Amino acid sequence: MADPTPARAEPLSRSLMFAAACVQGVREGRTLDDGLAQARLHSTNPGAVHDLAAHALRHLALGEVLLAQAAARPPAEPLSSLLCVALTVLAAAPEKYGEHTLVSQAVDATAALPGGQRMKGFANAVLRGFLRDKAGAIERAMVEPGCVYGLPDWWVERLKAQYPGDWRAIIEGNNVPGPMTLRVNIRRASREDLRQHWARAGIESRPVGQAGLILERARPVSALPGFDAGLCSVQDEAAQRAGFMVGVQPGMRVLDACAAPGGKTGHLLELADCDVLALDADARRLALVQQNLTRLGLSATLKAANAAQLDTWWDGRPFDRILLDAPCSASGIVRRQPDIRWLRRPTDITRLASEQGRLLNQLWEVLAPGGQLVFATCSVWKEEGRDQIDAFLQRTPAAKRVSEPLQLLPLSGDADNHDGFFYAILQK
């Protein structure tokens, strides 16, 4: 979690309220991004709201068990989510706020809820009762696998089955917030020059991958010299590999098939002067691609279309390179998007894998002979990675792998800090 002292003064009670609304939304099936979008409209410290909500979602099972221990009958929303947020901080991040300050502010937040004045005593009793028996309450909760791992049981069992030697390390990586990683626009600045420029401004960073920098301390992008001028973009090191794998050359005709929000589109154009068509089925998200390209001073042809429906967008001219960053479970990026673990269901993986196969089949038709297609998913599940590619190769005799597929796992460490991602390069 970030420094609890807000950049702009906002009582902790308000940040707790907004964070609780985010958590409540996830519990009801909405995304964390939806909740944060609302918080940005009303909160003067959305960074604190994000940190509180993300922390609570990483430890949501623990918060729910602790609340169930403390209350014979769980309170209704939004108080239930507010107390879960407070309990997860008291239990799993006590160093971030003074315990009594947090309890006091959580009680103030309760009072500000509709009908909350009459629930202040209840909230105070729950939180202070937890503090009186903190060690015992946590010990009792930790008999539940969900509290230990911070993941649904089915997710843990699937990790055990698919990665018997790495499942614990993957879970540990999932529960550590990802660092702020940026991709340097090497068309306009060298990585070392930008790093030194930041160092002179008191911003420390270290290299990662071919063109990345990891900040020692996360900060708003508006505080990064050169960001608004297009010298860098926020992008995890695993995602940065896509642009290099596509291998664009000047003059190539390139398709970015599922482009939003545009990080990879921009990277392709940073690497070479090529003719890029960026597709996305969501016209609203396609606007984010244009915003990113405008900031970078780059241009591509943008079209709102489902890439699998060729008759709605393809003009008959084949592509030299295709990047298919396919819709997936996002199981590799839960350290950055902790709501995913609670929103996904096992049936989603089967459905998404089917969609990925359909996209592969259709886009293979628009790839030029001798051209290459890079298939990517931000997933650790084999159904969305190696199994998907093996099945495609079996049904597509004209396709061959250029190299061994790459499965990146979210095993955080000083030398190897990236999200989970899968890549395969296919040639026609």
Catalytic residues: 378
Q: Do the beta carbons of residue 232 and residue 182 sit within 8 Å?
A: yes
Residue 169 structure tokens? 């390390």
Beta strands 319-325 and 367-377: pairing type? parallel
Angstrom distances, CA of residue 191 to CA of 11, 52, 214, 324, 358: 39, 33, 11, 27, 39
Bridge partners, 276 (sequence order): 254
DSSP for 237-303 reads: HHHHHHHHHHT--TT-EEEETT-TT-HHHHHHHHH---EEEEEES-HHHHHHHHHHHHHHT---EEE
Angstrom distance (rounded) from CA 384 to CA 395: 17
Q: Do the beta carbons of residue 159 and residue 173 sit within 8 Å?
A: no
Report the candidate in 93, 100, 92, 112 with the shortest Cα–Cα distance to residue 20. 112
Which of the 8 DSSP states describes residue 178?
P
